[in-house]
Structure 1
Amino acid sequence: MDSTATPEQISLRVVVKKRKNRVLYAEAGKDFVDILLSFLTLPLGTIARLVSKDSNTKPCQFGCISSLYASVCNLDPKYLNSETCKQMLLQPRNPMERYNQKLKLNIDDTDPTKYYACDSCFYEDGSLVSSSENLKCECGGHSTFLLTPCKSLLCSGSDQNEIRDTRGYVKETAFFLIAEDLNIIPADLKTILCLLKNLHSKDPPQESTVVLGSNEILDLLKCLLMSKTALTDLLLGKEHSLVDSETSFETTDERRGRESTRTMKMKVLISKSKSKILFAQVEEDFVDQLLSFLTFPLGAVERVLEGNSGLVCVDKLYNSLNNFDSTGDFKSEKMKNMLADLKVAPYFKVNDQMLPIDELKCPSELSYCYSKLVRSYYLTSGKTLFSKPVARGLRMSDPKSPIMEEKSGNGYAKSRTKYMVADDLSVKPFSSHHVLSSLAKFKVHHHDLEERTICVGAQEVLSILKASLVSTSALRIGLNFFDKYY
């Protein structure tokens, strides 16, 4: 790699153990560390979409999340709660969108959030606003009038007043050491002296400067999901030290003691000889839990799995947050807390979400204002610097609802609909055609088939989520650790 960086590139100083063909650590400042932390804010569906693209390396599969995402691409919108639901799942909003927009290298290609007012009741106090275009309003109009959001709307609640600098996460002067597994350590004298002691050998390490562009950052995201040594694989072109999905998945403390009072019934078809789930017949409540996976930020998944997702480099990156000084490295303590407790974007949560991942809330007070300076209508919250509001007391609507309503919609999946979920979490409408074609693919004799009805609660959903990150058999692996099923 050329060591001279352009404005669209980032330079890293790298220390390499040449004989072992291994990156010992890299030195990085704000630009690169902001990018690493931004990976935690990406929804799983966004990651699946990004890693399916070519870069310097080939597209890769993100466990079962890729097949779940692909099945939504192929799903007829009539099987979802509204036409907007499909677009929401394929382009899930990043809850930290505001802080990622000015990253030096931002590989997230999701369209920025836009807001639309009803074309009929636009000037009325209490009218409805949506983050999705062309939704039907309760007055009979449609949300087609584009509004420019004030910066405060791109951040939630009190955060908008406490963190005004929206370019990334760490301070301009912060300096870090990054291990090959993406463990980030803020650099100080003690850390550097410890490294010098550990690196003392007859084979002294070599230093070099490398330059990263957008393709390399996308390559790093792919390595993050597949490897135990992402930085070495990226910078030295080394083959991935792949995570073994079968051995990396273990029952851990994050599921113990969390008995759910709510369960969902599902019918599973099992191959008795292989002790394998072929597919499940489920209703909309279970499908909503699966579709929600696509909207979860990677860091939020790490939190509910207590930093033990089975993706080694992701675990190291997330747990690195504990190494940071809240005010010395981050812009504020609030910023660190936001990254440690990531939420889904507003209106992306289903009402009956079984996992403890919350949703950002939109400001309760909204109004339209007109700026003569730029001749544009602005959507703002609270006090405004613009002229007198055109309309006050506006209500944000849930785009998942078939008709814009003040209350939240139920979820993504169409109610009273049966679905077929494969072992890799691909979702289809339930039909005899899909059943027969699946059985033909598995080549199993009907005497080898057994149908069982099982109950699934929060623990099982969490187990399936964890298995979906590291395998292509999320139902089999995720439920296999619950002995009552097998």
Structure 2
Amino acid sequence: MGSTKISLKLLVDTKSKKVLFAEAGKEFVDFVFSLLKLPVGAVVKLITAETMNGSIGRLYQSVEHISASYLLPNKNRADLLQPKVLHPDARELLLLQGKGQGGQVPESGSGAGAAAGSPPDKFKLYTCAGYCATAAMEAKAACPQCKQSMATEVELVLPSAAPPQGQAASSSSSGDEERSGYVKGLVTYMVTDGLEVTPMSAISSITLINKFSVGKDVELAEKYACVGMDEGLGLLRAALRSDTVLSDVFLAKKNVK
């Protein structure tokens, strides 16, 4: 991830230690939206099976520990434990990159699985040296047409990464930024404690403040937070088990000022 950081402005009730909402830009909204595209196995790998509520963590560990002698010879446990993410460049997931080294899953049933918290692998496609009209997800496959090894990586372009039909691709960085992710830039978004995302407006923020304040003694204050890799993982973990995600991540840890 490097030094990637996203700034948030939080409206906090200092008495109840709760976040009412955050004012966020495109980068943060793209990140939280991108969490919906993570395969279940990638989620468990990122936040580690031991810290997960429910049964998915135990299911992950079962696959991790089962002896290779029980697996079909043409199956690789890494397909379940290290699923690839269908992103052309995974820019929206940069906050989750660089955690661990992404070690390979051993084929013996020794129980030493993928490195905890390693980033999800990017989805790749391969073709043969003759560029026949075929593609494979593994470089070991043989081309059904020319029988050569399909080891030449080809670029995977999703529709969202391409310019609209009939519109020339823009060479400007702002144009590239506007085509990446999910939401438009130059807009401020309101993200509630439970990760409801709407465009920010004076009416919506006042309505939410009034609804929260009715019948309560509240003391509201603006605070600022930086979202990096640790906070990104915290948001993913909290989103799976809590309705007060922003409060859990930014007020439990003293990283607001």
TM beyond 0.5 = yes
Cα distance, 1:140 vs. partner? 9.6
> Does structure 2 retain, via aligned residues, the 8 Å contact 1:99–1:169?
no
Cα distance, 1:228 vs. partner? 2.3
Question: How far apart, CA to CA, are the structure 2 residues paired with 1:131 and 1:176?
Answer: 37
Question: How far apart, CA to CA, are the structure 1 residues paired with 2:217 and 2:57?
Answer: 45
Letter in 1 for 2:194: D
Identity %: 29
Letter in 1 for 2:20: L
Of 53, 64, 80, the residue aligned with 1:73 is 64
**5 Å matches for 1:345-364?**
none
Alignment partner of 1:181 is 2:182: no
Of 112, 118, 135, the residue aligned with 2:122 is 112
Q: Where does the alignment leave 5 or more consecutive residues of structure 2 unmatched? A: 98-117, 170-175
1:221 is aligned to 236
What's the CA shift string for 1:240-275, capped at 9, x where partnerless?
xxxxxxxxxxxxxxxxxxxxxxxxxxxxxxxxxxxx
Q: Where does the alignment leave 5 or more consecutive residues of structure 1 unmatched? A: 1-5, 54-58, 239-486
Cα distance, 1:103 vs. partner? 4.9
**5 Å matches for 1:73-472?**
73-77=64-68, 79-80=70-71, 83-95=74-86, 97-98=87-88, 100-101=90-91, 103=93, 105-107=95-97, 109-118=119-128, 122-123=129-130, 125-126=132-133, 128-138=134-144, 143=149, 145-149=151-155, 153-155=156-158, 160=162, 162=164, 165=176, 166-198=179-211, 199=213, 203-237=218-252
> Does structure 1 retain, via aligned residues, the 8 Å contact 2:88–2:122?
no
What's the CA shift string for 1:381-440, capped at 9, x where partnerless?
xxxxxxxxxxxxxxxxxxxxxxxxxxxxxxxxxxxxxxxxxxxxxxxxxxxxxxxxxxxx
Question: How far apart, CA to CA, are the structure 2 residues paired with 1:217 and 1:45?
Answer: 17
1:336 is aligned to none
Letter in 2 for 1:130: A
- Alignment length (residue pairs): 219
Q: Secondary structure of the equivalent of 1:105?
A: helix
Cα distance, 1:173 vs. partner? 1.4
> Does structure 1 retain, via aligned residues, the 8 Å contact 2:125–2:135?
yes
Residues 196 and 223 (structure 1 numbering): CA distance in 2 closer, same or farther, change over 3 Å? closer
In the superposition, the TM-score normalised over structure 1's length comes to 0.40
In the superposition, the TM-score normalised over structure 2's length comes to 0.71
What's the CA shift string for 1:98-125, capped at 9, x where partnerless?
363355524471222333334xxx3274
Residues 176 and 132 (structure 1 numbering): CA distance in 2 closer, same or farther, change over 3 Å? same
Letter in 2 for 1:115: L
Question: How far apart, CA to CA, are the structure 2 residues paired with 1:15 and 1:124?
Answer: 55
> Does structure 2 retain, via aligned residues, the 8 Å contact 1:39–1:221?
yes
Cα distance, 1:67 vs. partner? 1.9
> Does structure 1 retain, via aligned residues, the 8 Å contact 2:88–2:123?
no
Question: How far apart, CA to CA, are the structure 2 residues paired with 1:142 and 1:219?
Answer: 45
1:46 is aligned to 42
1:37 is aligned to 33
Q: Secondary structure of the equivalent of 1:68?
A: helix
Cα distance, 1:145 vs. partner? 2.5
What's the CA shift string for 1:222-245, capped at 9, x where partnerless?
11112221111111118xxxxxxx
Question: How far apart, CA to CA, are the structure 2 residues paired with 1:159 and 1:11?
Answer: 25
Cα distance, 1:211 vs. partner? 1.1
> Does structure 1 retain, via aligned residues, the 8 Å contact 2:20–2:209?
no
**Based on CA coordinates, which of the two structures has the bigger radius of gyration?**
1
> Does structure 1 retain, via aligned residues, the 8 Å contact 2:12–2:220?
yes
Question: How far apart, CA to CA, are the structure 2 residues paired with 1:48 and 1:142?
Answer: 36
Residues 196 and 74 (structure 1 numbering): CA distance in 2 closer, same or farther, change over 3 Å? closer
Q: Secondary structure of the equivalent of 1:143?
A: coil
Residues 190 and 73 (structure 1 numbering): CA distance in 2 closer, same or farther, change over 3 Å? same
Question: How far apart, CA to CA, are the structure 2 residues paired with 1:144 and 1:99?
Answer: 22
Q: Secondary structure of the equivalent of 1:193?
A: helix
Q: Root-mean-square deviation (CA), in Å?
A: 3.2
Q: Secondary structure of the equivalent of 1:154?
A: coil
Residues 229 and 208 (structure 1 numbering): CA distance in 2 closer, same or farther, change over 3 Å? same
Of 6, 20, 24, the residue aligned with 1:28 is 24
